Amino acid sequence: MIEDIKGEESWRLLRILAEFTEGYDRLSDLGWAVTIFGSARTEPEDPYYQQARALAQRLGEEGFAIITGGGPGIMEAGNLGARDAGVASVGLNIQLPMEQHPNPYQNLSLDFRYFFARKAMFIKYSVGYVCMPGGYGTLDEFFEALTLMQTMKIYPLPLVLYGSEFWQGLIDWLKTAPLKQRLISPEDLDIVTITDDIEVVVKAICDHRSWKEEKIRQAQQSLNKGP
């Protein structure tokens, strides 16, 4: 019985490793990309669906690939907008007993069993995150990115909450509970941008790309100079 359990755990480790390996192999040439998070339950007639599609298209027009969780709702809108713009439309699909089924607008699709492996791919291959209204999954993805930036485990990236009517209550709570009790610092809230303007999102992410390109250029110049 003990050997059976050990065998099952070994296979689980191999499946986890396989998910990371496939993700790195298939996404390594993606280039500049933005992840759009949001609810799987948002219907196509919802204004947020339409805004997510328009945002993805605008980002695509600026040369960004679009990454989503691959499912319906906001994720579908993001992949559809990427298709409209003619850029890479990536879906990182997750196996779930309900809600999640792959949308048809992905031209690069990966399947994950483990949330943490999937979230690592969002983080590694994005230069910006946009959180549209969503439920527990979206909140998990938002706070994961926020925590990694606040603890400096990843470089700061644009982290945008789109839809002030939906998100403002969360920001107000962060100010009146954790911040008031000194459980977070005032500058921790500076990591987050909240907006209802697609062009604000596009500018923030384009500015970050320009900053990152300049850092890469400086690093290459330094290497070329040698010791």
pLDDT digits (tens, 9 = 90+) for 170-186: 999 999 999 999 999 99
CB 75 within 8 A of CB 93: no
Q: How much is the pLDDT for 221? A: 81
Q: Please, what is the average pLDDT of the chain?
A: 92
Q: Where are the beta strands (DSSP E) in 72-195?
A: 89-94, 108-112, 129-131, 159-162, 192-195
Residue 226 confidence (pLDDT) above 70: no
Residue 100 confidence (pLDDT) above 80: no
| All structural domains of the chain | 2-225 (3.40.50.450)
Q: How much is the pLDDT for 218? A: 87
Q: How much is the pLDDT for 227? A: 62
Q: How much is the pLDDT for 130? A: 98
Residue 1 confidence (pLDDT) above 50: no
Residue among 47, 40, 145 nearest 91 (CA):
40
In Å, what is the CA distance from 162 to each residue of 8, 87, 227?
A: 42, 22, 46
Higher pLDDT, 155 or 100: 155
Residue 8 confidence (pLDDT) above 80: no
Q: How much is the pLDDT for 10? A: 83
Partners of residue 31 on adjacent β-strands: none
Q: How much is the pLDDT for 162? A: 98
Q: DSSP character for 101?
A: -
- Determine which helix (DSSP H) or strand (DSSP E) holds 103, and give its type and residue range: none
Share of the chain above pLDDT 90, in %: 84
Q: Which tokens go with 62?
A: 């600026």
* pLDDT tens digit sequence for 184-202: 999 999 999 999 999 999 9
Q: How much is the pLDDT for 224? A: 76
* Exposed/middle/buried for residue 28 (C-beta within 10 Å: 0-12, 13-18, 19+): exposed
Residue 165 confidence (pLDDT) above 80: yes
**Both ends of the chain: CA-CA distance in Å?**
60
For 153, the 3-state DSSP assignment is: coil
Q: Rounded mean pLDDT of 139-158? A: 94
Higher pLDDT, 47 or 95: 47
CB 123 within 8 A of CB 153: no
